[in-house]
A and B are shown apart, each in its own frame.
Chain A
Amino acid sequence: MASKRTLKTLEPLGFIFPGVAILLIFVYYPLIQNFINSFFRFSAFSPSKIYVGFDNFKMLFQDSVVLTAIRNNVRYAIVSVLIQVCFGLVLASILEDKAFSKVAIIFRTTFFLPVLISVTVVCLLFSFVYNPMDGLLNRFLELAGLGSLARPWLGSSKTAIWATIAVSQWHSTGYIMMLFIVAIQKIPEELYEAAEIDGASKVRRFFMVTLPQVKEMFFVTSVVTVTGSFMVFNEPYILTRGGGPGTSSTTLAVHMYQSGFFKDMMGYASTLAVIIFLISAALAVVQLTAFKTGED
């Protein structure tokens, strides 16, 4: 009888075990190993490591590329929150409005379609769009009489990062919009009816009903977007060939990759990975506290 009871207490542990094991092996072990690696200098060519203490961290503070990368990541985060989260919410709210109910499905599909295309394909596509000589964008500007605005978008250090950020917005806004649509559909209709009876305009209804009701989703999407912005890799790596020209459009993840796999400084790359982890963890905690989520 006692053994049956023990079995009963052990049963839930059995269910938890595979999940915990996978988490330990694939998330926590590499994380800890990465922390340890950041104190070593080693090459991908050889399995031997040399302990260097805090040398990699010292190098990090002297590396001017890190500052450029952080600045670019911050730009990414700000623009992504403004466009993907804020504008995505506005789009969702417009498409969920009764006035658009007949055409909403067409727009919803159109805005969501880019999400289904692989980032690599999107980047290749936009490298044609941005081509300075035959690209769609410059040609369009010239046709519209705005030829003076035409420029080598990816080849100038002033525009390369913004051109890269723009591609990400085009690619991901539809996804966040879809998440907001789901959240808005869950809002009880009575709230809108009550607001309408009280004479609230559409804009006021958005601010007084929609916004507070999708607060949780707003939090989730902004955490995902901001942390995603600090890990962005594909777009700058493909569009500007690893953060060029020079290092003007590099991000932390690209710098980490270049340091590890191109310059063969695996220890330093681990240090950069630690910094990326600390920044994204800190941001998540800040957002968690700011939104006070889970209290509703």
Chain B
Amino acid sequence: MRKKFSAFLFVLLVAASLVGAQQKVTIKFFHRWPMEPRFSFFNQVVAEFEKQNPDIKIEMDSVVNDAYKEKIRVLVSSNNVPDVFISWSDTFAYNLVKSGRVKVLNDMLAKDKAFADSFIASQVKPFTFDGKTYGMPLTIDGKVFVYNKDLVSRAGVTTMPKTFDDLLAMLQKIRGAGMNPPLLEGLADAWAISHYQGTMLQRYMPAEVLAKDYAEATGEFTNPGYKVVLERFQKLVDFMGPNATSLTHTEARNLFLAGRLPVIYLQLAEFAFIKAANVKFEWDYFNFPAFADGRGDPGTLTGAPEGFMMSNTSKNPEAAEKFYKFLLSRENAAKFVKDVGAPVAIKGAVNATNAYPALIEAVNLINSVTGSTPWFDNAVNIKVADAFMRGSQAVATKDKTIDQVLRDVQNAAKIVASEAKK
């Protein structure tokens, strides 16, 4: 009996030690794409990583855009920071960095030159603050005017606009041919407004004025140029008709995909939707034209990368780093291009074998422009961006004048500056 009992104990001990040996390291991974095709992509990447690393378990969680912005802020300010997580660049990234819980990647990049050099250098900059890199980009993007060639040529437009006045003339011509609205944006989405305004401000205003005003501590927004830009934005809104304020960007894009809208301002990442919709018309695109009297560089492209960050409070930093590098490897980036159809910041990942011609052209465009302008709502403090975006909605519905909007913007800037100084 005693022997049996001892044997039982022995077996129990061995079993317990085996379980202990097999105990997996858990890495928390948080992203913002619970929708297809990106959701499946990340599921597959995680499954493949777990297969290659049986001792590491990836706990993946995801919520959509706005909810993600809120949740990641709360998580980063608590002690519950995910090991690996996605972030927008510029101000959004900087705000997360300010929490002091985001890992500085300089050491890792210095040790692994091959990994560091696999990224398009200009796209790493928006994640670098005071010489420290806090994130590496996965996606890259840019915003361009996409047009339905059939509709536009039917209206007699043969050359694409070089200046803002050309653009207005083109829209006028399309409208004259009975296609109304010639241009449409879902103005119910405040961020869609910020994409227009960010580009227009960059094209029109001197760079040093923007640099001073976009900085939290010194922003005033008193330059008369802001009024000019808002007035010109309103000219575009006038072409969009009375329905624009009740539509979302997705609804406007669907109208374009259905061949009912001649021109739309789209992100390069949205080319995937045009391809997936198998549209019956031919299409092309052009960068936002220059202002004849503008002081900003007309050669830049508005758009910013999104990339991954790591927590500096991770319990398993080695495993997290391993997963991080796997996630951003050239193989997975190439798979992303193939599955999702959006451009990425990893060199050589977009090629003829996995991308359609328009996507290759889009990446070439990103590589050829003189610089990139961050999304306006990421470039300035959100209080200022909100005053611009909500204010412009109110101007579109004739509830506010541009002067009133600018007063709101200046007041918001005062609050932001006073907070930054304290």
With both chains docked as a complex, state the minimum distance between the C-beta of A264 and any C-beta of chain B, in angstroms.
6
Besides A245-B187, A248-B399, 12 other A-B contacts (C-beta < 8 A): A45-B95, A46-B98, A131-B246, A133-B243, A133-B247, A155-B187, A155-B242, A155-B245, A244-B245, A245-B245, A247-B394, A248-B397
Hey, which chain A residues are within 8 Å of B422, CB to CB? 50
Hey, which chain B residues are within 8 Å of A45, CB to CB? 73, 76-77, 95-96, 98-99
> Is A153 located at the chain interface by the 8 A CB criterion?
yes
B73 touches A262 (CB 8 A): no
Give complex CA distance A263, B190 in Å: 13
Closest to B383 in A: A263
Given A157-B394, A244-B190, A245-B187 in contact, is the A152-B242 Cβ separation under 8 Å? yes
Interface string of B379-403 (1 = CB under 8 A from A): 0001100100011011011011000
Closest to A246 in B: B394
B95 touches A132 (CB 8 A): no
Closest to A43 in B: B77
> Is A156 located at the chain interface by the 8 A CB criterion?
yes
Given A45-B96, A240-B188, A246-B394 in contact, is the A157-B255 Cβ separation under 8 Å? no
> Is B27 located at the chain interface by the 8 A CB criterion?
no
Given A245-B245, A247-B390 in contact, is the A156-B74 Cβ separation under 8 Å? no
Contact check: which of A41, A131, A133, A152 meets B245 at CB < 8 Å?
A152
Hey, which chain A residues are within 8 Å of B247, CB to CB? 131-133, 155
Given A47-B77, A245-B393 in contact, is the A263-B382 Cβ separation under 8 Å? yes
Hey, which chain B residues are within 8 Å of A155, CB to CB? 187-188, 242-247, 397
Hey, which chain B residues are within 8 Å of A88, CB to CB? none
Give complex CA distance A115, B399 in Å: 35
> Is A113 located at the chain interface by the 8 A CB criterion?
no
B386 touches A263 (CB 8 A): yes
**Interface residue count for A (Cβ, 8 Å)?**
33
Which B residues have a C-beta under 8 Å from some C-beta of A? 70, 73-74, 76-77, 95-96, 98-99, 187-190, 242-248, 251, 255, 382-383, 386, 390-391, 393-394, 396-397, 399-400, 419, 422
With both chains docked as a complex, state the minimum distance between the C-beta of A222 and any C-beta of chain B, in angstroms.
32
With both chains docked as a complex, state the minimum distance between the C-beta of B184 and any C-beta of chain A, in angstroms.
10
Closest to B71 in A: A261
Closest to A242 in B: B190
Hey, which chain A residues are within 8 Å of B95, CB to CB? 45, 264
Give complex CA distance A43, B394 in Å: 28
Give complex CA distance A258, B393 in Å: 16
> Is A20 located at the chain interface by the 8 A CB criterion?
no
A132 touches B77 (CB 8 A): no
Most buried by A among B98, B246, B390, B391: B246
Closest to B186 in A: A241
Closest to A155 in B: B246
A44 touches B77 (CB 8 A): yes
B393 touches A246 (CB 8 A): yes
Give complex CA distance A41, B95 in Å: 16
Give complex CA distance A25, B49 in Å: 42
A241 touches B190 (CB 8 A): yes
A46 touches B188 (CB 8 A): no
Contact check: which of B76, B382, B383, B394 meets A248 at CB < 8 Å?
B394
> Is A89 located at the chain interface by the 8 A CB criterion?
no
Given A45-B73, A133-B255, A157-B394 in contact, is the A152-B248 Cβ separation under 8 Å? no
Most buried by B among A152, A155, A262: A155
A264 touches B382 (CB 8 A): yes
Hey, which chain A residues are within 8 Å of B393, CB to CB? 244-246
Hey, which chain A residues are within 8 Å of B394, CB to CB? 157, 245-248
Which residues in window 208-244 of A have CB below 8 A to B?
Answer: 240-242, 244
